[in-house]
Amino acid sequence: MSFDPVPEVDEILKSDWKPEEYGLLYHFANFARMANSVITEPGDLQGWFGEALWRHYSYAPFNARVMENYHSLAFFYGYEAPWNVYYKDPRVLSRLELALNYTFNMMGENGAIPEYATADLDSPMLAPSSFGMEYMTGALEVAGHVMPSALKARLIEQARKAAVYVLTSEESWDHARAFTNQFLGAMAGGAQLARLTDDPELKGMVDKAMPALLEVGHFISPMGFLYEHNGPETFAYFFTTLNRLIPLYHETRDDRVLEVLRRHGAWMQKWMLPEPDHQTVLLAGSHQTRTGSVYRLFNRESRGLGEMLVDGAEDSSEGVSLNPDDERLALKLFVSSAETIEKRHASWHDPGNPVEEAKARSIRDGYNPVSTRSRLDSYAPSEEEVAAVRIGLPCVGRQQYGEWASDDRGNQFGTFRHPRYYTAFAFGTRQTTASYGPSFLWREGSGTLVLSGNGTSACWETRIGSEGTGKATGNADMREGRDGYEVISRYSDLGVSKTFVLRPEVIDVLVSTRRASGAVSEQIPLLLRDTDILHVDYGRCPAAGTSSKVLGLVTQTLKIEREGRSVLTIDIGSPTEGSIKCSNDRDGFIRATFTFKLPSIYFGRTGYRLFLDG
């Protein structure tokens, strides 16, 4: 083995690179740093990555997820290109072998790969085993043809053991029903490994698991989302899931994968809110059960998705366009457009040293493994295609309807459209990161007015002392009534009940506080623009003028003026004390939490009204 340092790269010849390779620049520029962090000295840590570059949450010598950059070592060792100076470099091979052997030695006898403790103590080991075998198989795909035969044989053996553990063990299946994305890596990687090694038995295990994608009670909910923490990750973790569904489809060509995308696309669209600028789409994610609700839609480059958004052929160049109503098309909104990619590619030849720029970013960004989807074709829809999907979102141009659905895991959701507004609610019987109650309030032509967050972010809720309804578990009654729809929730632990009456031009919020044991207030997370104007009974304040301040009020009404017209008026019924706490985002949005005391009316009942008649 050669343990001489892997040489740094200081510059590149841009003309040697193909456009589809531009995305590899960051990994290439910082490869030596990652490769040289492999410990080569003899001892218990030989093969371990001696610098924390990936999976910082548990940088401990028993966490095999830290080791997944063996795929990056394999990629550049096996990728032949005129610019790749690391191709078949013995110094890279020696580190690849050490890193793989370190990983193999961590594994349990049953093929399980540990993450939070050693293999004899960790449980469950679904995620590290599933994603680990996926990266192992990726290493085989990109470098198996140039690996020493003994290393290749052991790589195949260990990857297969991990795949069998995930695909057949009861503990993996039990955990996967609550955290689906963690199982899909082994489905995609197992199918890939079966192809690379001509292993019909392993392929049969993948085939046996495929029905669980669409069987209620396994991975998918009646509402269309795949379970994460027994609830929806509509946006955040879904993209981890998508990055497994794409290779799974490419390996199996199974239409059930496409049906998963269609169902999730239908679910996802309900929580996507287009802004009047015809460019911005906001994501209502307060119902998400695992991760924080980042509310801006950001585009990303995609590989392998194109063939899943056409019908009639295995090749996207031969396929036919989907029906415009096919919900899979919602995914186009998350993908960088062809025009954006063209501009990005054109900038490749701009003056400057991109290697220096990539290295400057690396201290902050670390070194994620090279994507296992790098071998798949890039996909970029045109801006015209993206615009067509945006105007087809369910909230746009629709008349009155109300929909509600639930599952057997305590999740409950309702979406309601009146000609003047669109809103949605989420409830659940489990404590997760989700916030329960109303999720957003949106108006066509005006955009989003109220947007709840999950986790520790502000949500639309009633607060009793230091506790709030946003984290209170339980389901609600949803029904037609009072010229619209009613959403009725009861919070026995807090001593309150709450009813939203959704009429065509107003929303009445009725709160019964008869058994409440603390001061009762209401919290509404407004989403303002720099140009909005806030009106109260006795004056006004430009939203931009509230920058990171608290605006104290004693008012009966709060009106939001946007682009010269009233878009929302909150009428509390009588003058009451309140405040608006603002924080500015870099993109012109202002998150403004309006908190006010609920006035006592009679017999322990109180409430307020939202007018949407502007």
Q: 90-121: per-residue pLDDT in tens? A: 999 999 999 999 999 999 999 999 999 999 99
Residue 148's pLDDT is: 98
Q: Which position has the higher pLDDT, 95 or 216?
A: 95
The pLDDT tens digits for 406-454 are 999 999 999 999 999 999 999 999 999 999 999 999 999 999 999 999 9
318 confidence band (pLDDT: 50, 70, 90)? very low
316 confidence band (pLDDT: 50, 70, 90)? very low
314 confidence band (pLDDT: 50, 70, 90)? very low
603 pLDDT more than 90: no
Look up tokens 């299946």; give the residue.
173
Residue 492's pLDDT is: 85
Q: 184: which 2 tokens?
A: 């899909």
Residue 321's pLDDT is: 62
Contact between residue 210 and residue 258 where contact means Cβ atoms under 8 Å apart: no
The pLDDT tens digits for 561-579 are 999 999 999 999 999 999 9
Contact between residue 165 and residue 126 where contact means Cβ atoms under 8 Å apart: no
- Is residue 124 reached through a cis peptide bond, with omega within 30 degrees of 0 on the bond before it? yes
High-pLDDT (> 90) share of the chain, %: 86
Task: Please report, as a single letter, which amino acid is at residue 213.
Answer: L
**Average pLDDT in the chain:** 94
Q: What is the mean pLDDT of residues 55-61?
A: 94
216 pLDDT more than 90: no
Residue 547's pLDDT is: 63
The pLDDT tens digits for 373-399 are 999 999 999 999 999 999 999 999 878
Q: Is 399 helix (H, G, I), strand (E, B) or coil?
A: coil
Residue 601's pLDDT is: 63
The pLDDT tens digits for 320-336 are 566 778 999 999 999 99
Between 3.40.50.300, 1.20.1050.10, 3.40.50.10420, 2.70.98.10, what CATH number should domain 401-611 receive? 2.70.98.10
555 pLDDT more than 70: yes
Residue 584's pLDDT is: 79
C-alpha distances in Å from residue 403, one per residue of 220, 221, 386, 453, 566: 19, 16, 26, 22, 28
Q: What is the mean pLDDT of residues 183-197?
A: 98
For residue 448, which of 558, 332, 607, 295 has the smallest C-alpha distance? 295
Distance CA 326, CA 331 (A): 11
Residue 58's pLDDT is: 92
How many CB atoms sit inside 10 A of residue 533's CB? Answer: 17
Residue 549's pLDDT is: 76
DSSP tag of 300: B
483 confidence band (pLDDT: 50, 70, 90)? confident
Residue 317's pLDDT is: 44
495 confidence band (pLDDT: 50, 70, 90)? confident
Residues listed for the chain? 614
Q: What is the mean pLDDT of residues 150-177?
A: 98
Distance CA 205, CA 172 (A): 14
